[in-house]
Structure 1
């Protein structure tokens, strides 16, 4: 039988997950094997790569070598590899060795460790892995209705997040709620804005997700979760922002269209809206507040209307956050 290796690691076990470091270490090893013209397969966790080769599907007889990549060498799952692939030459590479006498360690014919009591410390394999292509960094601001205005459509959120999971991007879940005690949340609007301005794009179904993104000059792909349109639609119109998908027209095709626009022409459009916000800071309902406070009660617009110049009033277009 010609030499063929099965590459395994923490990413191979059914109840484990894959980390970026694990996968980069694997890609470093793959590159070395390809350069040496050595044939190999990779065993993946079914939860991470459902359509790939899984460890329980790999036939031991098909391999001459078993290679364990990255991670610490310990535990019954590693020991089981030694039993199942007993006929193979077993090599561990780029691993940590907490206990050199552990059966998980001693079962390997060779251990090329990155660290351990008896090992010379080496750089992790991920450090020299092939350079990955960069992807857009996308902030995601989604939320449930918090004030009884009826803006909670679980179907829209599910469709949006299902679509988003298929996009090649770095997703970062964000929250506009402030909390001075929870380290996971921002404590000030400035902290929120500092995060948003570092995004390439924000995907949101919240009014303030849209407004704060545009305030920072960042394009927002907005979804109004309410059929027929509500506050998100009204605010997109007020800001002159076209990248809005109504709940009743939500589809992958629509989302893909605005995704592409936001990452191209939308960058310039968002920066222009930011300039308009800065250049005309009084173009909102606060501009009429002093007049409303000074006016007699019966004309102050107490029932959702506002003074609109000397000629009268018109209904306010907003309805809250």
Structure 2
């Protein structure tokens, strides 16, 4: 009978959905999380293995002597030795403190400039191209002037970090505001949003996806500026990542030098992962990315 056949198919479908013996919903959830972690991790692990193999092959080719260009078989033990030294973590703490303080200052300046430029057309005509031009300038160009202004001090480093990062942050915010839908602006006007509420409740949240992109680019400029600053501005022999790089170069210690280059790269990748996570979260919240 057709009804009996349909009922049998429904029962079979329910049987197929039953959990396997010994497995709970929590186990399936944990397995799903582990699967997602593995799917995100294995391509990076393969890339690392390929890079290490190519690096070691280049060393074995005799392109440079191992004294000048050591392979991973020498650099990785040196890296392990560094990360187990308390002085290393002190250097990382000093560098990251400078990075976060400088980026916070650049964020404050960039937000103010971005809001002002986006709302006042004469100001955009006056300094809009200047803000864009500042993004193209290498940060190292500013250091002689910064040292002339502030001497050998952290203020010189902060000055260059702000000049390097703030234009990108301002540009990202301005672009985000420019692409806010006019229908949203009209809806906010109908709802009576004025002044600070208009920005805090409507414009800035709508501009967040592009603003996060500007923040990511601003961090990249801030990080590069900081590394250049710590190499050029040695403050009372204070331990930092840049100071350690400079010391390794002066001592011709290629193993230690390359290990600190790897550390700089790893820190940059970790911050990039954070910004990518923030970007995906915003896209999911806005309904433009799968949950």
State if a TM-score over 0.5 links the two structures.
Answer: no
TM-score range, shorter chain: under 0.3
* Greater relative CO, 1 or 2 (CA 8 Å, sep 6+): 2
Which has more strand, going by share of residues?
Answer: 1
Normalization by structure 1: what TM-score?
0.20
Which has more helix, going by share of residues?
Answer: 2
